[in-house]
C-alpha cells in the first residue's frame, strides 16, 4: 500500500508539473501575442509577421522543441500545434523535427554519459526504470520502434531509457529519423485543422481515423 501511495504521489507531482509548465508556456505565448498586438490579427497575418522576424522565431521554437524532449515535461502535441498556428503546418513540421531530433539524441547521450541517475530522474525513480527495462528485455529494438511510432507511449521518456538498454546508437538514431517524422506528421494531419478540416468532409475522415 505504501508503494502504491508513493507511486501515486509521483504521478500526481508529474501531472501538476506538466499542467503548470503547459499553462506557463501557453500563458507566456498569449502575453507575448497580446503585447505585440497579435491577438487581433488573423493567422495569416501572424504567420507573415513571424516570418519577417528572420531567424529568431524559428530558433526559439526549435529550442522549445528541444527542451520539451529533454528537460521540460510539455507534451509534444502542444508545441507542434502551437508551431502550426504561428508558422503554418509545413514550417512547424520542419522546426519540430529539428528540435525533437536534437533533443532525442541529447537525451540518449545524457543517459549514456550520466547513466541510471539521469534516467531515474526522467522516469520518476529506480523502480520505474527497472520496470521499463524488464518489460523490454530481449525485444528492445522491436518494442521501442513501435512505442516511438504510436502516440500511446511516452516516447520522450523512452529516449533516456533506451540509453541503458542493449541498443546500438545507430539503431536508436534510425528509429528516431523514421518515427519522429511519422508522429509529428500525424499530429499535424489530425489535430491542426489545416490539412484535414474539423468540419464537412474532414469530420468524416477524422472519425474514420479515430475508429482505426
pLDDT in tens, 32-43: 766 766 556 565
Q: What is the pLDDT of residue 7?
A: 63
Cα torsion through 18, 186, 188, 98, rounded to 10 = 70
- Give the Cα separation of 111 and 117 in Å (integer): 8
For the stretch 12-34, pLDDT in tens is 776 677 667 666 766 676 677 66
The Cα–Cα gap between 24 and 27 comes to: 5
Asked whether the predicted pLDDT for residue 101 surpasses 70, the reply is: yes
C-alpha to C-alpha distance for 108 and 104, rounded to whole angstroms: 6
- Cell triple for 153: 507511449
Q: Is 80 left (phi over 0), alpha (psi -120 to 50) or beta?
A: alpha
**Burial class of 79 by CB neighbour count within 10 A (0 to 12, 13 to 18, 19+):** buried
C-alpha cell at 51: 516570418
Q: Find the range with the poorest average confidence among 3-12, 160-169, 187-196.
A: 3-12
pLDDT of residue 152: 66
- Binned at pLDDT 50, 70 and 90, residue 176 comes out as very high
Judge if pTM exceeds 0.75. no
Helix, strand, coil shares of the chain, percent, nearest 5, are 80, 0, 20
Residue in the block written with cell 539524441: 105
Once rounded to an integer, what is the mean pLDDT over residues 67-82? Answer: 74
Q: What angle do CA 66, 72, 73 make, to 5 degrees?
A: 115
Report the candidate in 113, 150, 158 with the shortest Cα–Cα distance to residue 133. 158
Name the residue among 106, 103, 90, 97 with its Cα closest to residue 179.
Answer: 97
> 93: pLDDT confidence band, cut at 50, 70 and 90?
very high
Is the per-residue pLDDT at 77 higher than 90? Answer: no
pLDDT value at position 105? Answer: 92
pLDDT at 94: 93
d(CA 33, CA 166): 46
pLDDT of residue 210: 65
- Is the confidence at residue 11, as pLDDT, over 80? no
**Tally of CA atoms within 13 A in the half-sphere of 59 that contains its CB:** 4
1 pLDDT above the threshold of 50: no
CA 177 to chain centroid: 14
For residue 188, pLDDT beyond 60 = yes
What DSSP designation does 211 have? Answer: H
- Mean pLDDT across the chain: 77
**116 or 44: which carries more pLDDT confidence?**
116
Residue 81 burial (CB count, 10 A): 20
Task: Over range 109-130, report the average pLDDT.
Answer: 82
Question: Which carries the bigger pLDDT value, residue 71 or residue 100?
Answer: 100
Amino acid at each position: 500500500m505504501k508503494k502504491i501511495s508513493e507511486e501515486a504521489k509521483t504521478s500526481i507531482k508529474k501531472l501538476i508539473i506538466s499542467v503548470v509548465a503547459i499553462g506557463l508556456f501557453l500563458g507566456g505565448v498569449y502575453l507575448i501575442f497580446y503585447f505585440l498586438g497579435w491577438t487581433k490579427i488573423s493567422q495569416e497575418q501572424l504567420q507573415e509577421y513571424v516570418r519577417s522576424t528572420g531567424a529568431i522565431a524559428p530558433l526559439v521554437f526549435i529550442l522549445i522543441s528541444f527542451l520539451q524532449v529533454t528537460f521540460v515535461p510539455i507534451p509534444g502535441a502542444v508545441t507542434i500545434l502551437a508551431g502550426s498556428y504561428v508558422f503554418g503546418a509545413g514550417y512547424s513540421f520542419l522546426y519540430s523535427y529539428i528540435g525533437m531530433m536534437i533533443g532525442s539524441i541529447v537525451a540518449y547521450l545524457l543517459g549514456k554519459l550520466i547513466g541510471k541517475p539521469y534516467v531515474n530522474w526522467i522516469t520518476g525513480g529506480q523502480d520505474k526504470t527497472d520496470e521499463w527495462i524488464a518489460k523490454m528485455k530481449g525485444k528492445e529494438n522491436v518494442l521501442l520502434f513501435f512505442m516511438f511510432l504510436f502516440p500511446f507511449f511516452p516516447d520522450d521518456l523512452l529516449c533516456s531509457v533506451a540509453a541503458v538498454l542493449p541498443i546500438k546508437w545507430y539503431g536508436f538514431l534510425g528509429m528516431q529519423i523514421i518515427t519522429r517524422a511519422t508522429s509529428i506528421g500525424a499530429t499535424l494531419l489530425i489535430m491542426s485543422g489545416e490539412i484535414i478540416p474539423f468540419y464537412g468532409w474532414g469530420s468524416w475522415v477524422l472519425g474514420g481515423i479515430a475508429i482505426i
